[in-house]
Amino acid sequence: MAGVEVGIKNLSKSFGSSNIWSDVTLTLPAGEVSVLLGPSGTGKSVLLKSIIGLLKPEKGSIFIHDTDLVRCSESKLYEIRKLFGVLFQDGALFGSMNLFDNIAFPLREHTRKGEKEISDIVMEKLDMVGLSGAEDKLPGEISGGMKKRAGLARALVLDPEIILVDEPDSGLDPVRTAYLNQLIVDLNAQLDATILIVTHHLGTARSLPDNIGMLFRKNLVMFGPREVLLTSEEPVVQQFLQGRRIGPIGMSEEKDTSQMEAEMEELKKKGGSAESEESFIDPQLEVSEGVPERKAVQRRKDRVMQVLHTLPPKAQTAILEQLTEEDQERYGISRDQDRTELIEITRNNPPEDADPFGYQAMQEAADNSMVEDAPAGEGEGEGDQAGSGDPDADAEARKAPPAPPESDEPLVGVPADEDAGGTVVLPQAGEHTKSEDEQSDEAGNPPEQQQGSDDQAQQDQDQQDTQQVHRDETPTEQFQAQGGAQGQQDQGQQDQGQQDQGQQDQGQQDQGQQTTQQVATAGAAGAAGAAAGAAAASSGSSDDQPTGRHHWRGDPEQAARTGDQGVAGLVPMAARPAGQQQGQQQGQQHGQQQGQGQQQGQGQQPGQQRSGRDSGHSGWAQPNPGQDAAPDPQGEAAADPPAEGGPGSTEQTAPADDGTARPQSQDTGVPRGREDDDQGLMGGLRRMFRRGDS
Ligand SMILES: Nc1ncnc2c1ncn2[C@@H]1O[C@H](COP(=O)(O)OP(=O)(O)OP(=O)(O)O)[C@@H](O)[C@H]1O
C-alpha cells in the first residue's frame, strides 16, 4: 500500500450565497504529510469534507487517480472513499460502544469479513496506536488523548491510502500532542499514506509536515514545501506562526485593511516591527527507533530540489542548509559552494522534468476537458501548445523544453499565475455570513431530489470519460515523448483493484452527532454535483478565474534587478544525463562531483531519469502495518490516567459469528453515550456508504 496523490484544482465552495473559499489549487503529494493552517472559520474542515466527497464544491476538480471526485458518479465516489481514513476533531466515537466495537464498526459495516479476521485487525490497529488492553473501555471512560488515538485506529482500520485528520491536537496537552504527532509520523513511515492534517497547533505545523498550506480570506494563500511557509514574510503567515495579535487576522477571523494598517503604523511608532521575530525552521520530526524510514523523505527532497529555483530565496537557503553531505553528493552541489556559482551551474542545467508529479499534465487535462465542453472558440489559449488535436504537433510541443521563464513551472499545488509575478496577492477582506436558508440549501434536500436528471447523469459520465482520456493520455505521451517507455505516471501505479477493504466509514463520522443531517444529504452529493460540475466545465477555461494566491516562483524581472536568479532545479546526480555528470569541471568541494555540463539530451534519456524517482514510487513497499510499529509503551497509554469510577466490571462476551468470543461491553458505572444518538449517527452513516464486496 502506498499513498496516492490528491490533486485539487480551482475548487470553490459556497453554502447558498455564502462563499467559503474560491479557486483553491494544490496537490497533496503522494505519501507525504501536509498540514493546512488558517484562522477559525476559513473553511479548513469544509475543505477536508470536500476532499472526501462529503461536501460538493460547486466548481473545480479533485483528482484522485484518474477520477475527478467533483464530477464522478456516485458509485465511483463510493469506491474512491475506500481509499480514505478520516479522523474528525472529536474522534466521533459511538458513546454506547466500547473501543473494540467502535473500531470494528467500519469492518462490520463495509466488509464481509468474519469476526475472527475483524478481531485480528482491530487488535492490530489498537496496538499501532498504543491502545492494546483498552478495547473494552467505553469512550466515556478514556482520556481525550486516548479518544483521538481510538479515532485514529478506526480511521486506519480499512488500510487507507489517504488519511485526513481534523485537529488531532485540539483539547490535548502539549505532551499528548507531541505523542500523537510522533504517532502520525510513524504511521506515515509504515503506511506511506498521503496525510493531510488540519491544525491550529504551531508546534505541529512547525515540526510535523512535509508541506504546509494556509487558508485566509476565502483563498489558499500558500501551499508548498514547509520551508516556504516557515520562512515566509507574508504578514498573515507571520502573524499566524508567531501567534501575534497584530496583523491581518482579527478576532472575527479577519481585519479590514485600514485597521491593520493603523495597527502596523502604531507598532512602528513604538519602534517595533511586525516582523520582529526571525522566522525559523524547526527540525522535522523523525520516525521512532525501530520504525522503517519514511519513503516520503527522499521523494520530497528530490521533488523540492527540482523546483528549488522557483522558491523564494529564504526558502532556498533553508532547504540548502538542511542538506546532508549525502544529499549534496546526490544533487551534485556543495553547501559551502558560492551561491552565485551554484546558481550559474544550475541555471544552465534546468530540470529535465519540470512536472515531476504530473501536476501540470493534470491541469492541462482538466483544462482541455473544459475546453472540449465549451462552445467552439472558447478557452483556446495561446499557450496551449499541446492538445492542438494534431498528435505529432502535440508530441513535439510536449517534447519542447518549457518556455522561459522556467520558473513559471508550477510548484506543488501552486499554479503559475501570469499576473502575480513574484508578488503577494492577498484576497480582499469580506463578509461571509450565512443564513439558515443558505445552510438548508446545502443540507435540506432529500437525496432523491438531488439526483439530477438522466441527462445530467449522462453529462457527468461524459465529462468523466473525457477527463479519463486526457488523464490517461497526456502524462504518458509526455513521458514517452521525452525519451523513455520507463516514464510512468505516478498515480498509474496505484491499483484500485487491490483494495480489499470494503467501504470506508470514517469520513462519515462528521463532527459527531451534529452531522447526521449533513451526512445523510452528503451521500447524494455525487449526483447533485454533476449539474454544478457540468456548469463549471462549460463556463470556459479556468484561466478566467481571478486568483488570490501567493506564487513562489522566480520572477525574471526581479531577478534581473537583484541579480539573484534563484537556484535552478536540481536532479539527483545519478539521474542526470551522462553528459551533465561528466561535463565541465566546476571545482566543487567533493572531487567526485563533476560539474554539470550544459549539454542536454545526451547519455541517459529523460525517461530513464524518471525511473530513478519512479523507482521510489513503484518500489513502495506494502509493510505489514503494526509489524514495525513501535508505539511508545510509555506514551499516552501509559500516561493516561486509568478509567475512574468503575465498580466491578461485568464483562459480557458474546459469541461472534465465527465462534470466537470477544468482549462486547463493559459496565463500569461511567455514563455511556446514548444509544439513540449513536443510532441517529449510524443511520446517516449507513445511508452514506454501501456495503463493500469484500
Ligand atoms: N454544512 C454547512 N452548511 C453551511 N455552512 C457551513 C457548513 N459547514 C460549515 N459551514 C460554514 O463554513 C465556514 C467554515 O467552517 P469550517 O468548519 O470549515 O471552518 P474551520 O476553518 O475548520 O474553522 P475551525 O478552525 O474553527 O475549526 C463556517 O462559517 C461554517 O459556519
Q: Tell me the CATH number at 220.
A: 3.40.50.300
Q: Which of 163-177, 215-229, 546-560 has the lowest mean pLDDT?
A: 546-560
What pLDDT score was predicted for residue 416? 28
Q: Is residue 575 part of a domain?
A: no
Mean pLDDT taken over the chain: 60
Residue 497 has pLDDT above 90, yes or no: no
Which residue from 94, 135, 152, 120 is spatially nearest to 686, judged by alpha carbons? 94
- For residue 283 the three cell numbers come to 527540525
Pocket perturbation via mutation, ligand 1, pick of 45, 54, 170, 518 by most ligand atoms within 8 A of CB: 45
Q: Is residue 660 part of a domain?
A: no
- For residue 35 the three cell numbers come to 498540514
- 88 with 62, same domain: the answer is yes
- For residue 417 the three cell numbers come to 499565475
Extract the runs of DSSP E, i.e. beta strands, from 403-491: none
Cβ pair 542, 367 in contact under 8 A: yes
- 26 with 47, same domain: the answer is yes
Q: Is residue 358 part of a domain?
A: yes
Per residue in 482-495, pLDDT (tens digit) is: 222 233 333 333 33
Cβ pair 202, 170 in contact under 8 A: no
- 272 with 203, same domain: the answer is no
Q: At what angle do helices 454-481 and 359-373 cross, to 10 degrees?
A: 140
Cβ pair 316, 224 in contact under 8 A: no
Question: For residue 288, what are the contacts with CB-CB under 8 A and spacing of at least 6?
Answer: 182, 185, 186, 630, 632
- 376 with 413, same domain: the answer is yes
- State percent of the chain over pLDDT 70: 42
Tell me if 38 CB under 6 Å of ligand 1: yes
Confidence of residue 33 (pLDDT cuts 50, 70, 90): very high
Q: Is residue 181 part of a domain?
A: yes
What pLDDT score was predicted for residue 685? 46
Q: Is residue 205 part of a domain?
A: yes
Pocket perturbation via mutation, ligand 1, pick of 14, 18, 20, 514 by most ligand atoms within 8 A of CB: 20
What pLDDT score was predicted for residue 444? 42
- For residue 26 the three cell numbers come to 494544490
The domain of 146 spans 1-94+122-133+140-226+285-307+351-436+444-483+501-549+605-644
What pLDDT score was predicted for residue 236? 73
Q: Is residue 100 part of a domain?
A: no
- For residue 630 the three cell numbers come to 513501535
What pLDDT score was predicted for residue 180? 83
- For residue 475 the three cell numbers come to 502524462
Which residue from 150, 106, 103, 107 is spatially nearest to 131, judged by alpha carbons? 150
What pLDDT score was predicted for residue 572? 55
Q: Is the dihedral of CA 37, 39, 45, 48 positive or negative?
A: negative
Question: For residue 333, what are the contacts with CB-CB under 8 A and spacing of at least 6?
Answer: 320, 323, 342, 345, 346, 570, 588, 593
Longest alpha-carbon distance in the chain: 79
Per residue in 397-451, pLDDT (tens digit) is: 434 333 333 333 322 222 223 222 222 222 333 333 333 344 444 444 443 344 3
Centroid of ligand 1 to alpha carbon of 168 (angstroms): 17
ipTM of the complex: 0.98
Tell me if 170 CB under 6 Å of ligand 1: no
Q: Is residue 473 part of a domain?
A: yes
What pLDDT score was predicted for residue 103? 92
Centroid of ligand 1 to alpha carbon of 292 (angstroms): 37
Mean pLDDT of 544-565: 38
Residue 5 has pLDDT above 90, yes or no: yes
What pLDDT score was predicted for residue 619? 21
Q: How many domains does the chain have?
A: 2
Rounded CA-CA distance 387/586 in Å is: 40
Confidence of residue 298 (pLDDT cuts 50, 70, 90): very high
